[in-house]
Structure 1
Amino acid sequence: MNRPTPLLQVQNLAITLPTRRGPARAVRALDFTLERGQTLGLIGESGSGKSLTALALMGLLPEGAQVSGSIRLQGQELVGLGDAQLCQLRGNRIAMVFQEPMTALNPVHSIGRQVAEPLRLHQGLSAAQARGQAIALLERVGIARAASRFDAYPHQFSGGQRQRITIAMALACGPDLLVADEPTTALDVTLQKQVLELIGELVAERGMALLLISHDLAVIGQTVARTLVMYGGTVVEQGATRDIFDRLAHPYTQGLFAARPRLGQGRMPGLRLPTITGTVPELADLPPGCPFAGRCPHTLDACHAALPEAVHLSPGHLARCIRLNAI
């Protein structure tokens, strides 16, 4: 019996960027699938390849970037797809909520026009029809008096309201896949909770798949069912979020959790928050083996030789480390 085609299937994805020091392998050997209605998180330090992965899905990689491998949206190959075809998908079947809403919104156009634009472009609605649907979307994401504020500009809204507006834009055409890249970084804790709850409600309502990118372990733990832990452009651990949080199999995952500030810990003389030694290597300096080799306290010479194969720890839970039994 043939298995149904996944909504999103990424296989052996590699992204190489041109730098002054030569080609840099920003993402390598990336594999994952995502079904409609599923939620998946990407987590890791800055420079780990999370945002580049999202931009690859959207066809928005920097000029000169080289992509190999496969990205399939319900069987349609996106790698190598022309700009015209990608434009038909962006904002329609795949949509993205960016980290900083003030740069995602055009300051010289009203917010109503920006939310209505994908409806007119992809669904062929008239101006009046698009306006009506845009107002309904703005109301749904919590913009008060949406009809009277339809012609207002981004600078006339707060940071939390602007992020809600970008969510309305992303959801306008009912995409199959929503990519949210650090959608709460610029917001305070209360607004973070509200925006994440809103995204969760809308994903459940509309049956979309969600790819959430974050460096915040708490956000990932509360929002997504599955998680990929990225470091040095590679997924070092993946599985059900609960399994990863319970076991912390990979040394890098252990280091991330150990470095979390703990509520109520307080300040004690001589007590320092644990840190991961060393720094994230430059993309052009990534080692040929495990990307975490050198920073990892369990490093052996063999760790530098080749990228470790993924080890199955339990159904769906994998980690790339040759020393899992010793850790």
Structure 2
Amino acid sequence: MPMLEVRSLQVNLPGPRGVAPALRGIDFGLERGQTVGLIGESGCGKSMTALALMGLMPEGASVSGSIRFDGQELLGLDDRAMCALRGRRIGMVFQEPMTALNPLHTVGAQVAEPLRRHLGMGRAQARAEALRLLERVHLPQPAQRLDAYPHQLSGGQRQRVMIAAALACGPDLLIADEPTTALDVTIQREILDLIAELVAESGMALLLISHDLGVMAQNVDRVFVMYGGTIVESGPTASVFERLAHPYSRGLFNARPRLGGGRGQKLVTIPGRVPELVDLPPGCPFIDRCHRALDLCREPPPAFAVGPDHAARCFNMEPVT
């Protein structure tokens, strides 16, 4: 049995124009020690999936389906039960540490909080462990940083603090939501290498969320391509990148920047834009932007096998090249 099993997950959000489907029947699983990635443009449902797993839904959201973690159904759990899991068995590195960290509390206090709450450590013991964790994530001058506030640290340093807090209790699953957003390229590589090192060291599972194809290619075993609240292609990372069966997956790949391009050369783009959730078509969510769309695509496509453990929801897949 997978450690994490998500089935038919749907999330609807209320809005001024009516109910908007943020997630439309998400299915995936995650084994212990496995690394998987969710990739897609902003607004495709990646972060909403992470929030659903953590039980941190926006006010008024309705959620249906199933999220089972080690055999326990998470949907429907009360706040007390979810709080016992968050930080203890499921850790999360949020997209923007400056807003996720509390500006009124020191770095040391925020890393120590889950240790005191979940493991019952005293103040002195938790502070000592917080120092060890900050050393573990390679924060410069960790002893001096314990009493610093988030605004006194750089973006990369704040992200290391977030990782230390997420790993404090030795979770079984780490969710990293765009952990390198707004960081320069060198710091991005350091943060991703750090996460990979810590995951390998502890044997935890990793769910990595990103819009960067390069990040996925180098950091996860399996990838799920999302668009319009739906997983449109999934499979082993090498297989997905080799085949790119769904037109959206191919579009993402072709739109990536390339080294050696001529000066002033324009990037390839996917026509159109991601529609508002309330405007998503009833069939394939990508139909209005797809160069291979058929009349048949007005119906929701099932998942068709592309290769071993590799599937895509498309009636007219990209040809093998």
TM-score, normalised by the number of residues in structure 1:
0.96
The aligned residue for residue 213 of structure 1 is 209
Separation (CA, whole Å) in 2 of partners of 1:133 and 1:247: 46
Which amino acid in 2 is paired with 1:173? Answer: C
After TM superposition, list the pairs within 5 Å mapping 1:1-327 onto structure 2: 5-267=1-263, 271-304=265-298, 306-324=299-317
Displacement after TM superposition at 1:325 (Å): 7.3
Structure 2: runs of 5 or more not aligned = none
Displacement after TM superposition at 1:326 (Å): 6.3
Structure 1: runs of 5 or more not aligned = none
Separation (CA, whole Å) in 1 of partners of 2:140 and 2:211: 31
Displacement after TM superposition at 1:263 (Å): 0.8
Displacement after TM superposition at 1:253 (Å): 0.5
For the residue of structure 1 that corresponds to 2:56, the secondary structure is: coil
Displacement after TM superposition at 1:172 (Å): 0.2
Rate the CA distance shift 1:108–1:26 in 2: closer, same or farther, 3 A.
Answer: same
For the residue of structure 1 that corresponds to 2:266, the secondary structure is: coil
Separation (CA, whole Å) in 2 of partners of 1:43 and 1:237: 10
The answer to whether the Cα contact below 8 Å between 1:91 and 1:118 also exists between their aligned partners in 2 is yes
Which amino acid in 2 is paired with 1:127? Answer: R
Which amino acid in 1 is paired with 2:301? Answer: P
Separation (CA, whole Å) in 2 of partners of 1:117 and 1:256: 40
The answer to whether the Cα contact below 8 Å between 2:245 and 2:318 also exists between their aligned partners in 1 is no
Separation (CA, whole Å) in 2 of partners of 1:148 and 1:299: 58
Which amino acid in 1 is paired with 2:223? Answer: T
Rate the CA distance shift 1:281–1:325 in 2: closer, same or farther, 3 A.
Answer: closer
Alpha-carbon deviations, 1:222-272, whole Å to 9, x = none? 11110000000000000011111111100000111111110111226xx53
The answer to whether the Cα contact below 8 Å between 1:99 and 1:186 also exists between their aligned partners in 2 is no
Rate the CA distance shift 1:326–1:206 in 2: closer, same or farther, 3 A.
Answer: closer
Separation (CA, whole Å) in 1 of partners of 2:81 and 2:28: 23
Alpha-carbon deviations, 1:156-175, whole Å to 9, x = none? 11111110000000000000
| Root-mean-square deviation over aligned CA pairs | 1.1
For the residue of structure 2 that corresponds to 1:15, the secondary structure is: strand
TM-score, normalised by the number of residues in structure 2:
0.98
Separation (CA, whole Å) in 2 of partners of 1:233 and 1:143: 36
Which amino acid in 2 is paired with 1:280? Answer: V
Which amino acid in 1 is paired with 2:219? Answer: T
Which amino acid in 2 is paired with 1:53? Answer: T
The answer to whether the Cα contact below 8 Å between 2:97 and 2:158 also exists between their aligned partners in 1 is yes
For the residue of structure 1 that corresponds to 2:288, the secondary structure is: coil
For the residue of structure 2 that corresponds to 1:205, the secondary structure is: helix
Separation (CA, whole Å) in 2 of partners of 1:324 and 1:147: 55
Separation (CA, whole Å) in 1 of partners of 2:319 and 2:100: 46
Separation (CA, whole Å) in 2 of partners of 1:325 and 1:43: 19
Displacement after TM superposition at 1:315 (Å): 1.4
Separation (CA, whole Å) in 2 of partners of 1:315 and 1:153: 49
Identity of aligned residues (%): 66
Separation (CA, whole Å) in 1 of partners of 2:316 and 2:111: 50
Separation (CA, whole Å) in 2 of partners of 1:40 and 1:196: 14
Separation (CA, whole Å) in 2 of partners of 1:220 and 1:326: 23
Rate the CA distance shift 1:325–1:193 in 2: closer, same or farther, 3 A.
Answer: closer
